[in-house]
Amino acid sequence: MPSGSLPTGEDGGRGHNSFNNMKSLQELTRPNIWSLAPYSSARNEYSGKAAHVFLDANENPYNDPNNRYPDPLQMQVKERISQLKNIPVECIFLGNGSDEAIDLVYRCFCEPKVDNVVAIEPTYGMYKVCADINNVEYRPVLLDENFQIEAETLLAACDDNTKVVWFCSPNNPTGNAINRKAIFDVLEKFQGFVVVDEAYIDFSREDSITKLLSRFPNLIVFQTLSKAWGSAAIRCGMAFASKDIINIYNKVKYPYNINRLTQEAALERLNNTFEVEQWVKLLLQERSRMLTAFAELPMCKRIYPTDANFFLAEMDDAQKAYDYLVDKGIIVRNRTRITLCKNCLRITIGTKAENTELLAALRTM
């Protein structure tokens, strides 16, 4: 092997990887987090031979099964996700919704008032809210008129204190998948983490970017059970990344961040993929019907391409249409005050009956 070239996954002790410019994980982690000794729960400390008397956690012996603390690392759920997505268990984190995974990016890696993050704009609002809560500078970079962007534009907004570049693909609220080349180029050139939020990936023509996890040590991918999996109420988000990144996440998260009821419901849902596939098929059919119908509405000026279970429609007057629909008991999302989304409504695909009701209402407006 020529000097300077390193085998996959090895960093020659310098903390650098042969496939990109990533700084070492230690350089990218907040010093207090890097040196943190995590809380060790009773359920963490005991793992060994089979046992049947558990007097270690001050639990009540009555009220089975809710009397016991849940598995802090949710191994059963992760093993099922690992099978489904072909990702090693050690590379999976489960959070109280993706929202927990988003917040942990800041708490683990971004020093308040020092570090910053760069994100596409417009996008999901939680990246900025969590940045503000953690007192971390948030640098939005405008998408172009097709809601796309090039790597160079994002990289130009980065400096030595930029820890994260945020992508959301398919993007919310625009609906489109961000071009792969831009994400790929940022992954190759950027020295910090690249987060790709794939909340809507099950509705997309694109493959999940998780396939690139073994190639890019700086890649963090989010998915969720809240959308295609129909389980928003149970609050279960997923993060996929290198084992080392996941270890840092595990150190910082609340010990029992996913409760037993959620683990049980998640497992049940993940064991019935057939039903989920049927839902997605139906929603994609309905999406295509809705796009056609909206194109024929006189008050609709433009429909943006979508890879998600919603679409963005530019109306003559979004506020007027929104108010009219509310009056009829139909709620859509008014995005008119979002950058680049003037007069846009974001419309989620519902059941056939719900979609038909929305169309009927707009046709008689």
Ligand X SMILES: *Cc1c(COP(=O)(O)O)cnc(C)c1O
Q: Which two tokens stand for residue 223?
A: 């998915």
Q: What are phi and psi of 51, to 5 degrees?
A: -135, 160
Residues written for the chain: 365
Residue of 99, 76, 98, 102 lying closest to 89 (CA atoms): 76
Q: How far is the CB of 197 from ligand X (least distance, A)?
A: 5
Rounded Cα distance, 271 and 77, in Å: 10
Q: Which residue has the tokens 């049927």?
A: 278
Q: How far is the CB of 173 from ligand X (least distance, A)?
A: 8
Cβ-based nearer residue to ligand X, 106 or 124: 124
Q: How far is the CB of 60 from ligand X (least distance, A)?
A: 31
Cβ-based nearer residue to ligand X, 72 or 237: 237
Residue with nearest beta carbon to ligand X? 97
Cβ-based nearer residue to ligand X, 74 or 172: 172
Cβ-based nearer residue to ligand X, 168 or 321: 168
- For residues 44 and 255, the answer to whether their CB atoms sit within 8 Å is yes
Q: What interhelical angle do 352-363 and 273-295 show, nearest 10? A: 10
| Residue 17 per-residue DSSP state | -
Cβ-based nearer residue to ligand X, 25 or 332: 332
Q: How far is the CB of 174 from ligand X (least distance, A)?
A: 11
> Which residues in this chain contact ligand X in the complex, by CB under 6 A?
97-99, 124, 168, 172, 197, 199, 224, 226-227, 232, 237
Q: How far is the CB of 353 from ligand X (least distance, A)?
A: 23
Q: How far is the CB of 327 from ligand X (least distance, A)?
A: 26
Cβ-based nearer residue to ligand X, 71 or 99: 99
Rounded Cα distance, 62 and 44, in Å: 22
Rounded Cα distance, 49 and 319, in Å: 63
